[in-house]
Amino acid sequence: MPRIMGLQSSLDIILAGKSLDAKRAKKKGLVDVLANPNTLEDEALLFAQKMVEGKKPKRKKKYAPKGFMDSFLESPLGRPLVFKKAREAVMKNSKGFYPAPLKALDVIKKTYNYSNRERALLVEAQGFCEVAVTEISKHLINLFYLLEDVKKQSGVPGVNVDPYPVNSIGVLGAGVMGGGIAYVAADKGVFVRMKDITNDAIAKGFDHAKSLWKKKLKRRRLTKYEFENRMARVSGTLDYSGFKGLDVVIEAIVEDMKIKQSVIGETAKHCKDNCVIATNTSSLSVTEMAKGHPNPKNFVGMHFFNPVDKMPLVEIIRGEHTSDEAVATIYSLTKRMGKTPVVVKDGPGFLVNRLLLPLLAEAMFILEEGAVIEEVDRYYTHNFGMPMGPFRLMDEVGLDVCIKVLKIFQESLGERIEVSELSKKLAANSERLGRKNGKGFYLYDERGRDTQVDETVYAELGLPKPKGGISSKEAIERGILQMINEAARALKEDKICETAGECDLAMIMGTGFPPFRGGLLRYADSLGAEYVVQQLEEYAQRLGIRFKPSESLVAMANNKTTFY
């Protein structure tokens, strides 16, 4: 690839795993001929015939740089600078947790412009063998197979069930969330009918979907015709006109049980009998909400993560009366939208939020003890591999949302969910909501990018100037070990999900848990249940009952068993 495309373009693809569409690949010299899918076989036969006859098209054998700077960077003098900048970019993006990109860079640096092809291939093979046998490689391969399994599944294991066909969906509640759902559906060919109570709300949903397609248009990932075609798939209404022909309706309104039950019941009256209604709730009981539906077998949870266009996971929550057909239909629709579905049982926080909340709650206790916000976040990102630390994550979710869900957890799960006094103080400030209003633990600019920690948050919470001091090991363990403890309860005691693999897939796709660690439960297995229980017991003695090991985890330690 470097020989054909040049060093700079090829490194961009190899090190970041980027893909090229057909036209760009042809332009770069990676593809010889482009063909319409409808005439692919004919074009292939014609191309083969020309090859046999010796009329094969002339192809680029070596990259020819254009311009002074391009020529300099491809020269022996400029190449060290290219390799230096490439390594810096890899370290910035991967923080050194992934050995393969660095090894690929070393191989290219060593073999670039080799005249002996066999020798170059040998160096490449040796480099591949070194990284292919690492634990990180094995974890990433396991993740690949988990994703492949999703493609083959219906969401209802052990039962042969066909999903209902879905050509059009409704979205109750436009706004940013509704617009995001409309975008991912219409982008894949599904017609969308958005309903809200004001024209301004509907316009907000339209604008959000439009802005996402405009980004694609600007980057030439869409043609103008494709852009207009996708926009035409989305319509809006203030009433239920057009709902009688919808196959699925996704509710994305305010998180209030009574309001949701009322709206769901009213919506069902305007839909056909087998229309599946799905709620996008992040914390409310799907079984309880189904009481508002006249036919609860056609009601299911469909929890998107925010931002919808970027987050790959969708939790499908099966209520007590949800039918196999409803689950299979939403599972199939989720895959069509380009998302990764994981089916979970109804319960407080479902799966991902239930396992994530102990980490966020513990961060507040750590802050209470005098920790420095950015220091703790850096421990999680640079020492453990999370995409963001707990304080930055709370800002992303919304501080008001985090505190509300924490209260729901405390009411549902009892004494093992302890909440810091700082959470109550945060709840009292309606001006500190996180990224969505530009002020949380961090300050954000008009584009939503964090600029720095808001130092006034310490005094506002009644804390002295932080001195830090907590070690990276303790800060990480106090959060991650609680997540493992709760995962053991969710999987083995409450049966929230079927397998350890589903749990790990959900945590990787829903929270960004480091893929190179294989997922939360594979990481737990690498530590060993005995170690996890021992550490939890030590923390429980010092810090409180929230660290008490679960019965299932203690049993695993005693029996020396693993999640896998």
pLDDT at residue 58 in the model: 66
* CA 30 and chain centroid, separation: 31
Q: What is the pTM of this model?
A: 0.91
CA atoms of 377 and 373, how far apart (whole Å): 6
Q: Residues with Cβ < 8 Å from 480, sequence gap 6 or more?
A: 359, 384, 520, 523
pLDDT at residue 401 in the model: 86
CA atoms of 188 and 507, how far apart (whole Å): 25
- pLDDT tens by residue, the chain, 564 residues: 888 888 888 898 899 888 888 888 888 888 888 888 889 998 889 888 888 887 766 666 678 888 888 888 888 898 999 999 999 999 999 999 999 999 999 999 999 888 888 999 999 999 999 999 999 999 999 999 999 999 999 999 989 999 999 999 999 999 889 999 999 999 999 999 999 999 999 999 999 999 999 999 998 889 999 999 999 999 999 999 999 999 999 999 999 999 999 999 999 999 999 999 999 998 899 999 999 999 999 999 999 998 999 999 999 999 999 999 999 999 999 999 999 999 999 999 999 999 999 999 999 999 999 999 999 999 999 999 999 999 999 999 899 889 888 888 888 887 778 889 998 888 888 889 999 899 999 999 988 888 899 999 999 999 999 988 899 999 999 999 999 999 999 999 999 999 999 999 999 999 999 999 999 999 999 999 999 999 999 999 999 999 999 999 999 999 999 999
- Alpha helical stretches, state H, 161-315: 175-186, 199-218, 224-232, 257-269, 286-289
Q: Give the chain's domains with CATH numbers.
A: 2-115 (no CATH), 168-346 (3.40.50.720), 353-559 (1.10.1040.50)
Cis amide linkage into residue 57, ω under 30° from 0: no
Q: Which of 139, 208, 293, 303 is catalytic?
A: 303
pLDDT at residue 497 in the model: 96
Residue 293 is a catalytic residue: no
User: What's the sign of the alpha-carbon dihedral 548, 554, 560, 564?
Assistant: negative
pLDDT at residue 3 in the model: 82
pLDDT at residue 60 in the model: 62
CA atoms of 14 and 404, how far apart (whole Å): 43
Q: Torsion angle of alpha carbons 22, 25, 29, 32, nearest 10°?
A: -20
Burial of 257 (0-12, 13-18, 19+ CB in 10 A): middle
pLDDT at residue 9 in the model: 86
By the 8 A CB rule, do 435 and 448 touch?
yes
Return phi, psi of residue 221, to 5°.
-90, -10
Tokens 């969910």 map to which residue?
Answer: 417
